[in-house]
Amino acid sequence: MLFLAIDLDQAVLNFSQDNILILKFCLGFIMYGVALNLQIKDFREILVNPRSVAVGLLSQVILLPATTVGLILLVNPHPSLALGMILVAACPGGPLSNFISHYSGGNAELSVSLTTATTLLSTLTTPFNFAFWSQMIEVPGKTVTLDFLEMAIIILELTIIPTFLGMLTRYRFPKFAERISKIFRIGSLIIFGIFIVGAFADNVNTFVKYLYYFLLLVLGHNLVALATGAFTARIFKVPGRDLRTITIETGIQNGSTSVLLTLTFFGGVGGMALIVGWWAIWDMCSSLLLAFYWSKRPVKETPKTQKA
């Protein structure tokens, strides 16, 4: 598929500096709320099931950016759309993946370990993957530059610090954390939902105007992400529950983080903003559909797992 050459730099998402600050607060609030439910024992999966954890990290951190570039070379989209796809693939997993993995009949403990691991690693992996793979994209008349340290600091603020504070609260004040975790979980979803709906409403004309250029691209990219997770897990013959989790973890990227990075480093301009903005909505929908499908079907374990 060859996309028409158009000036997508005319597409601008309407986000003020106040909107960006609110988005940062929402993301930090969500990550803190998620971390209130985390304990050191939740990471035992890394010790008792290191193979599936390693396969999940391989799929999400290494193979997803690589297959994304493969898709880009195949369909040859507008350069700014391609950069948005690479940024999405470079971001860590989204916190909603834990709920979806559990709903699908997957391994919830593995999901928590993978989401947290990719989040903690993202301070290095996100700026590195974007800088490395974006070099393969030719942007006429422009040079793609990235302040590695600045991006790492922003990711640190958005993910690592709130996660650490949430786990610290759980460790030092377990009863308090237990009481407020549900409030944070529900409250963060409500606040974030209101913000997303409001932001989409403010930019609905932009999305509709350029819908043709990014809708199928995001759909195809998300399918490639899910397929990357599924095939990687199948090649390495992980148990059925782990396969479902790795598929979902690879298919759900932290679209909100990619939106904020786009607004911060690229001004919310062009195809990048359209890709990451729509991805933040669509990957949750597709993963919920897949989880619903899987929830109605028994897990097919490997003979080795069944014997155990």
Q: What is the CATH number of domain 17-299+301-305?
A: 1.20.1530.20
pLDDT the model gives residue 94: 74
Q: What is the structure's pLDDT at 239?
A: 92
DSSP the chain: -------GGG-B----HHHHHHHHHHHHHHHHHHHTT--GGGGHHHHH-HHHHHHHHIIIIIIHHHHHHHHHHHH---HHHHHHHHHHHHS-B-THHHHHHHHTT--HHHHHHHHHHHHHHHHHHHHHHHHHHHTTS--TT------HHHHHHHHIIIIIHHHHHHHHHHHH-HHHHHHHHHHHHHHHHHHHHHHHHHHHHHTHHHHHHTHHHHHHHHHHHHHHHHHHHHHHHHHTT--HHHHHHHHHHHH-B-HHHHHHHHHHHHTTBSHHHHHHHHHHHHHHHHHHHHHHHHHTS-----HHHHH-
Alpha-carbon dihedral 234, 240, 242, 248, rounded to 10 degrees? 80
Q: Give the whole-angstrom CA distance, residue 180 versus residue 252.
A: 26
Please tell me the predicted confidence (pLDDT) of residue 5: 44
Quote the CA–CA distance of 121 and 61 in Å, as a whole number: 9
Look at the block and give the residue holding tokens 């607004």.
263
CA angle 229, 119, 124 (to 5 degrees): 100
Give the start-to-end residue ranges of the domains of the chain: 17-299+301-305
pTM above 0.85, yes or no: no
C-alpha 67/C-alpha 59 separation (Å) is 10
Asked whether the beta carbons of 225 and 69 are under 8 A apart, the reply is no
pLDDT value of residue 231: 96
97-145, pLDDT tens digit by residue? Answer: 877 887 888 887 888 888 888 888 888 898 899 989 988 877 655 555 6
Q: Determine the pLDDT at residue 307.
A: 40
Residue-level pLDDT at 146:
64
* Cα 299-287-198 angle, rounded to 5 deg: 155
Among residues 211, 218, 243, the alpha carbon closest in space to that of 55 is found at 243
Q: Which phi and psi (to 5°) does residue 203 adopt?
A: -120, 15
Per-position pLDDT tens, the chain of length 308: 444 445 566 666 666 667 677 777 777 887 788 778 777 776 676 777 789 999 999 999 999 999 999 999 999 888 888 989 999 999 888 777 877 887 888 887 888 888 888 888 888 898 899 989 988 877 655 555 667 777 778 778 877 888 888 888 988 898 888 888 878 777 766 776 676 666 666 667 767 777 777 888 999 999 999 999 999 999 999 999 999 999 999 998 877 788 778 877 776 556 787 888 788 778 878 888 888 898 888 887 654 444 43
Q: What is the pLDDT of residue 107?
A: 86
Q: Is 270 left (phi over 0), alpha (psi -120 to 50) or beta?
A: left
Give the bridge partners for 36, in sequence order.
Answer: none
The position carrying tokens 């786009």 is 262
